[in-house]
Amino acid sequence: MQPVLVLVECDGAEGAVCVSGYRLLGMARRLGSPVAVVRRPVEPRVIAALGRYGATRVCVVEDMAEPAVGTAGAGGARGVASTAVAVHAISELAWQMSAAAVLVPSDREGREIAARVAVRLGSGIVTDAVDVFADPDGPVTVQEVCGGAYRVESVVRGTAPVITVACGSAAPAPAPAEAIAEPAVELMRVTLPEADRRVRVVARTRKPDRRPSVAAASVVVAGGRGVGSAEGFALVEKVADALGAAVGGTHAAADLGWCPHDALIGQTGAIVHPRLYIACGISGSVHHRAGIQHAATIVAIDRDPTAPIFRIADVGVVGDLHEVLPALLEELARRRNPAATEAI
Amino acid sequence: MKLVVLVKHVPDETVDRPLTDGVFADDLTVDREALTCRLGEPDEYAVEQAMRIARRRMDVQICVVTMGPPGAARALVRALALGADEAVHVVDDALHGSDAQATSLVLAAAVRRIGFDLVLCGTASTDSGMSVVPAMVAERLGVPVACEADAVWAGEDEVVVRRDAGPTTDDIALTLPAVVSVTERVGEPRYPAYRSVVEARGKVVRTWSLADLRIRPDEVGLGASATVVRSVTPYAGQGPALIVRGDARDAAERLASYLSEHQLI
């Protein structure tokens, strides 16, 4: 079977593999024999875990100039050079092994790596695949387009297609027991050319613990008149803190003094551009909708199923927010609990 | 300082709901003739960002570039009204159905021909939304790239961008020339004054063909595309709106699942 390169992130607690890595290995098994590419030294238990999900080889890639210091270190503390390291390593390995495909997670860094590797290899690129399977004509990818209204199946031609896989597309499944073998571990040292050192981090600030401002936040939780009281609004703030989000309010909430006036979202207030906008007890007046139409995903929680906010929402929850929000907080806490995620 | 902004003429989602028939042509490409198109919204933010850099310096020249059918020139006129100085339209029949590789090849060739200090673009187009073209163009030009910048400061020989990196906010410096893609958080685009809309008609839109860029027609278009679309099926599994009703605990669990599936939490 031809090797399939998989970029595996090991940014979890104590260098554990991210769930996306297992998911990608599962998909890679359908196309060939998965080769995991990791960018930090890994412990034997991590290698064993990668093996359980089907990795036949593990390539540990290191930058010659800045060898990684141990496995400690918080997730996300990598320099920008590691993007270039991944690009070099994957292009080199794909060429050496004549890989059947390259799978990377579909996040900002993954997309950049995929784009640059595809140019170097001159191969096809598919982004945000929700499913991948083998076919006599070549790997077939499934994508969702037009907001999930259509599913597009396409065959990828040429050598070593680069595929970014949408997160949450499939649940990771361990490989069948008979297929599991201890993966071979290789160390690869990459020397970056000077050109790749023209990008550098000049400042890295930990995000302040206080909430971000609504206009610049990537997640916003907002409350309206339906919240009912200032005490009820504290619930909205709790959900925002759980998501690391900014707190916003409608005209009504701001006028009633539940939230400060600079958190007002709408035509006369802030126009927001978050990835996720959660509207709690907001009916969705024209004034308010003008401020949130740029939000990528809108979630509305309201008692009234005929509220106009449901017409523009991607997800609507019809129910009393005083019950739904505490349940959501519990659910979020449960999902964050490391004991619950360790089982995966 | 020469700024080049890459823009795209995309279907206007506020006019045509993409759920009706007629989004796809017979060859399964997006049928742009049948849809109302406009300058992509993320591109407006990139043009605006170029304008903000231009306001702080005397020597800035902003050139907008697009690749697309003849109708795409309207996107360029809009960008000129928003403040760009000149425009380049790469148009050729052979370009129909080009994929990301071909698009980046053409745009990189056009940018190289124009000459540049900084290339700005939106994070992703609103139609295909692959958001890989900025990095591909940078790789072809051999210059550094920073994608999804939330703020941009242009200096004499470097550009500093700020971006969200999970638990931290990073300031990243790139040596010019460079490519930067900006998010919608960089700042609202201005509403063009009537005067600038009129003036935009007098600005130059240059039209280049593939031959001008020395690209062979067989390197681009549907034939050179690395992916062959096999089928496009309406997918009923997830409508535009998922409505959750019932018990609060159950609703919260489904909401949390949706959010984590879509990588929102």
Segments of chain B assigned E as strands = 2-6, 9-11, 37-39, 61-67, 86-90, 118-122, 145-149, 151-154, 158-165, 168-175, 178-182, 205-208, 227-234, 242-244
Q: Which of A145, A306, A332, A344 to mutate to test the interface with B (most CBs of B within 10 A)?
A: A145
Whether A316 and B241 lie within 8 Å, measured CB to CB: yes
Q: What is the mean pLDDT of residues A264-285?
A: 87
Residues A257 and A230: beta-carbon distance below 8 Å? yes
B190/B67 Cα distance (integer angstroms) = 24
| Whether A181 contacts chain B with CB within 8 A | no
pLDDT at B181 over 90: yes
Which residue type sits at B229? V
pLDDT at B219 over 90: no
Q: How many Å lie between the alpha carbon of B202 and the closest alpha carbon of chain A? A: 32
pLDDT in tens, B103-160: 999 999 999 999 999 999 998 877 777 789 999 999 999 999 999 898 999 988 899 9
Whether B243 and A316 lie within 8 Å, measured CB to CB: yes
Residues A154 and B227: beta-carbon distance below 8 Å? yes
Whether A149 and B99 lie within 8 Å, measured CB to CB: no
Whether A273 and B245 lie within 8 Å, measured CB to CB: no
The residue among B227, B225, B218 whose CA lies nearest residue B92 is B218
By the 10 Å C-beta count (0-12 exposed, 13-18 middle, 19+ buried), B204 is classed as exposed
Whether B227 and A199 lie within 8 Å, measured CB to CB: no
The residue among B222, B258, B225 whose CA lies nearest residue A168 is B258
Q: How many Å lie between the alpha carbon of A37 and the closest alpha carbon of chain B? A: 21
Percent of chain A with pLDDT over 90: 22
pLDDT in tens, A256-270: 889 888 888 987 788
**In chain B, alpha helices (H):** 41-56, 73-81, 100-114, 133-141, 194-202, 221-224, 248-261
Would you tell me the crossing angle of helices B100-114 and A108-121 to the nearest 10 degrees? 80
pLDDT band, very low/low/confident/very high, at A254 (cuts 50, 70, 90): confident
pLDDT in tens, A287-312: 898 888 778 889 999 998 888 888 88
Q: How many Å lie between the alpha carbon of B23 and the closest alpha carbon of chain A? A: 9
Query: A329 to each of A162, A233, A286, B252, B257, how far by Cα in Å?
Result: 38, 14, 29, 8, 13
Instruction: Give the other-Cβ count within 10 Å of B195's Cβ.
Output: 9
Q: What is the mean pLDDT of residues A171-180?
A: 72
Residues A37 and A5: beta-carbon distance below 8 Å? yes
Task: Give Cα A64 distance to the centre of its chain.
Answer: 29
| Whether A101 contacts chain B with CB within 8 A | no
Query: A175 to each of A56, A120, B25, how far by Cα in Å?
Result: 11, 32, 41
Q: How many Å lie between the alpha carbon of B203 and the closest alpha carbon of chain A? A: 30
pLDDT in tens, B34-51: 677 888 888 999 999 999
Contacts of B18 in chain A (CB under 8 A): 146-147, 149
Contacts of B231 in chain A (CB under 8 A): 152-153
Q: Which pLDDT score is estimated for A70?
A: 41
pLDDT in tens, B48-92: 999 999 988 888 999 999 998 998 899 999 999 999 999 999 999
Bridge partner list, A249: A223, A264
Q: How many Å lie between the alpha carbon of A114 and the closest alpha carbon of chain B? A: 8
CATH of B2-224, one of 3.40.1280.10, 3.30.70.260, 3.40.50.620, 2.60.120.10: 3.40.50.620
Q: The dihedral of CA A82, A123, B103, B69: what is its sign?
A: negative
A287/A218 Cα distance (integer angstroms) = 21
Structure tokens at B32: 């742009």
| Whether A286 contacts chain B with CB within 8 A | no
pLDDT at B242 over 80: no
3-state secondary structure of B137: helix
Q: Which pLDDT score is estimated for B21?
A: 54
Q: How many Å lie between the alpha carbon of A255 and the closest alpha carbon of chain B? A: 26
- Rounded to the nearest 5 percent, the helix, strand and coil shares of chain A are 35, 25, 40
Contacts of A241 in chain B (CB under 8 A): none
Which residues in chain A (156-175) have CB-CB distances under 8 A to chain B? 156-158, 161, 166-168
Contacts of A308 in chain B (CB under 8 A): none
Q: How many Å lie between the alpha carbon of A149 and the closest alpha carbon of chain B? A: 5
pLDDT at A208 over 70: no
Provide the residue ranges of all domains of chain B, joining segments of one domain with +: 2-224
Contacts of A120 in chain B (CB under 8 A): 139
**Look-up of token digits 């279907």:** B11
Q: Which pLDDT score is estimated for B253?
A: 86
Instruction: Give the other-Cβ count within 10 Å of B68's Cβ.
Output: 23
pLDDT at A334 over 60: yes
Q: Which pLDDT score is estimated for B14?
A: 65
Contacts of B256 in chain A (CB under 8 A): 328, 331-332, 335
Segments of A32-118 assigned E as strands = 33-38, 57-63, 101-105
Whether A115 and B258 lie within 8 Å, measured CB to CB: no
| Whether A238 contacts chain B with CB within 8 A | no
pLDDT at A213 over 70: yes
Structure tokens at A126: 């598919």
Whether B227 and A153 lie within 8 Å, measured CB to CB: no
Whether A151 and B233 lie within 8 Å, measured CB to CB: yes
B228/A155 Cα distance (integer angstroms) = 5
Percent of chain A with pLDDT over 70: 88
pLDDT in tens, A30-86: 888 899 998 888 888 888 888 888 888 999 988 877 655 443 333 344 567 788 889
Whether A146 and B167 lie within 8 Å, measured CB to CB: no
Q: Which pLDDT score is estimated for A73?
A: 38
Structure tokens at A191: 């020397």
Task: Give Cα A90 distance to the centre of its chain.
Answer: 21
Q: For chain A, give the mean pLDDT.
A: 82
A293/B149 Cα distance (integer angstroms) = 21
Strands B2-6 and A315-318: unpaired
B3/B1 Cα distance (integer angstroms) = 6
Residues A25 and A81: beta-carbon distance below 8 Å? no
Structure tokens at A9: 């992130």
Q: How many Å lie between the alpha carbon of A131 and the closest alpha carbon of chain B? A: 14
Structure tokens at A116: 């640059």
Which residues 6+ apart lie within 8 Å of A24 measured at CB?
A: A6, A7, A8, A103, A104, A105, A165
Query: A205 to each of A13, A199, A266, B149, B164, how far by Cα in Å?
Result: 21, 17, 30, 15, 10
Residues A224 and A282: beta-carbon distance below 8 Å? yes
Residue in chain A closest to B132 (alpha carbons) equals A115
Q: Which pLDDT score is estimated for B38?
A: 84
Read off the pTM: 0.77
A327 vs B225, B239, B249: nearest CB: B249
Lowest pLDDT segment from A26-30, B127-131, B176-180 = B127-131
Q: For chain B, give the mean pLDDT.
A: 85
